[in-house]
Amino acid sequence: MSKPFSDNVVIITGASSGIGEELAYQLAAQGAWLTLAARDESRLNAVAAECRQRGGRARVVKTDVTAPKECETMIAATVKEYARVDTLVNNAGVGMWARFEDVTDLSLFEKIMRVNYLGSVYCTSYALPHLKKSRGRIVAVSSLTGKTGVPTRSGYAASKHALGGFLDSLRVELLDTGVTITIAFPDFVATPIRKSNFGADGKPLQTSPMNELNLMSVEECARHIVRGMETRAREIVMTPRGKIIGWAKIIAPSLVDRLTRAAIARRHRKA
């Protein structure tokens, strides 16, 4: 079996659960050298132990990606441990589920932007000199909301559009450096982020507002991402709906609006 990430130094933010956790396991199985970053150190230690069982190396660095100094420290710790950085996976994220007109705490939008957008900016900034030396990879876990606006996700969609704009611009700046940028656009995935989505009052909902049937598994989602990382794909779009959206937004944007509204309505739990 080919193991393209054997001895590859990979930093994963948001590695304590969900997509980040599963990416860590799948890359560890290939023998990757991992830095696992998130705020929950106890969960990171558990993920790291499992990664070692699966054949990888793992270093835990407790990190709040909204704090530039902590991002700088995390990158420095990685270089001290492994002497280089080959791959940065910007995965840390928070979500929301509320109609804009119902939002009573507008600081929610700043909070989401700081994690989903600025957190990636900070980590990328400090990792970039090392990635240029290794001709490495920058990978970002976005969402289909990074391609089209979605009702009840206005702040989340804005953060993912900002992330995409930043990385599309950076990709052009990095032409001929050997550093590549891959953006993953998952559809609905069965991850804990759904239960920690912020509601209209700016507080976590604690329970998922979605119908949980037929969501993509986190294992399948991570497999798509790892394959795209291996080939240094520009984009990773995982579902037929996702592949259609890009073209449909150009050809029939009003139709996309109606279909998106209907899709979200179907996913809401019935009272």
Q: How far apart are CA 18 and CA 256, in angstroms?
A: 28
60 within some domain = yes
Residues in CB range of 245: below 8 A, 6 or more apart? 144, 147, 148, 256
Radius of gyration of the chain (CA): 18
* pLDDT at 266 (0 to 100): 65
**Domain holding 14: CATH number?**
3.40.50.720
1 within some domain = no
Q: How far apart are CA 116 and CA 65, in angstroms?
A: 9
* pLDDT at 214 (0 to 100): 74
2 within some domain = no
Domain count across the chain: 1
* pLDDT at 212 (0 to 100): 62
202 within some domain = yes
Q: Provide the residue-wise pLDDT of the chain in tens; the chain has 271 residues.
A: 689 999 999 999 999 999 999 999 999 999 999 999 999 999 999 999 999 999 999 999 999 999 999 999 999 999 999 999 999 999 999 999 899 999 999 999 999 999 999 999 999 999 999 999 999 999 999 999 999 888 999 999 999 999 999 999 999 999 999 999 999 999 888 877 666 788 888 888 866 655 666 789 999 999 999 999 999 999 999 988 888 877 777 787 787 777 777 767 665 554 3
Q: Cα dihedral sign for 62, 42, 155, 182?
A: positive
Nearest Cα neighbor of 59 from 44, 43, 71 is: 44
- Structural domain that includes position 105: 9-267
* pLDDT at 21 (0 to 100): 98
260 within some domain = yes
* pLDDT at 188 (0 to 100): 83
pTM of the model: 0.92
Q: How far apart are CA 54 and CA 33, in angstroms?
A: 12
239 within some domain = yes
* pLDDT at 271 (0 to 100): 34
Residues with catalytic function: 156
3 within some domain = no
How many CB atoms lie under 10 A from the CB of residue 242?
18
